Amino acid sequence: KANHDVVGTDGTKPSPSYDGPYALLRDAVMLNTSFGEAHNLAVLTTGDVYPVRSSEPVDLLGAFRALESNTSVADPLTGLRWADRVEATVAMNEDGVTHLRNEIRVEASTSADSSRVVAAFVAMVDGVEGENGLDDDLDGFANVHVTGDLVVLETVLTGLSVSQLESTAISLGVSFVVLLLLTRRLIPALVVLSPVVFSTLWVVGSMVLLGLKWNVTTVMVTALTLGIGIDFAIHMWQRMELERSRRPNREEAMVASMSTTGVALLLSAATTALGFMVLLTSPMPLIRDFGLVTAVTVGFSLLLSLVLLPVLMDLADAASTRQDQG
């Protein structure tokens, strides 16, 4: 009742929404007291289930077997029979009860809510530092596991985060190797790669500012940024190198580079960004988010290739000149 993520706990009289063996037996005893007496069960006014005769054992297996064979309607609202509720709650074989299932209905509207809710229930089951959990208390009698849609979602989100880091690292490594083979020098390779790395960081930061969440589509954005940005950077770097070999004046070389390759990159980026922005008309939020973040990716990649890359090239040349003179 103290967990406000559980449905029904925010009212003046908390009534948590859950189902399981306890709720199943409680409902059966409240509806049919003779059933409870037959299995040494009764329900207090507080809703708690307790044994009628404390000196006698409670026949839980017999109670579940009786309900399993009962085909009458248990819940008029849903139409579920007692047999249906037993099937969804208790697994039995000839030796007795093998598994029990407790379903607790929770509210989680965002991935952050989902992570918090799952973490709270995992802590309840596994325990926290200095405190035992349900699994510890039932050691030797039963094993307790947290499962359900939110747990699956949390596992998927964790997998997305791991795959994002892996794909980004692989893309970054492959890009660096390609640049190293292209330039055959370490410093120029790092210079060309730097705008792409900064663009990736900017895109991640812009997602926070725009309120975009990581999902199965946006998780690809970092690797996509590297793929798009590296093309812009290589084209601009090659044009700058060519114009500098033709013109001794750096400003003239930059103007020539911007008026040729720079304009071409601008038009290419504009058409690419507009193409992705068409996805903003999609009725699916995931597709809209992907279109927006990809358009932002193209814009950042272009901006840093046209602005940051020439500056880094000048700084690298100046440092190389000082080193040669020294």
For residue 15, the SS3 value is: coil
65 CB-contact burial (10 Å; exposed 0-12 / middle 13-18 / buried 19+): middle
Domains of the chain, with CATH numbers? Answer: 18-104 (no CATH), 162-325 (1.20.1640.10)
Q: What percent of the chain has pLDDT over 70?
A: 94
The pTM (predicted TM-score) of the whole model is 0.63
Mean pLDDT along residues 74-99: 89
Give pLDDT tens digits for 253-280: 889 999 999 999 999 999 999 999 999 9
Task: Give the pLDDT band (50/70/90) at residue 148.
Answer: confident
Report d(CA 262, CA 235) in Å as an integer. 9
Mean pLDDT of 202-226: 85
| Burial call 226-238: b when 16+ CB within 10 Å, e when fewer | bbbbbebbbbbbe
Q: Are 244 and 256 in contact (CB under 8 A)?
A: no
And the tokens for 15? 């009534």
Q: Which helix (H) or strand (E) holds 28?
A: helix 21-31
Q: Which of 36, 91, 100 lies closest to 68 in space, CA to CA? A: 91
pLDDT band at 206 (very low <50, low <70, confident <90, very high): very high
The reported pLDDT for the residue numbered 325 is: 65
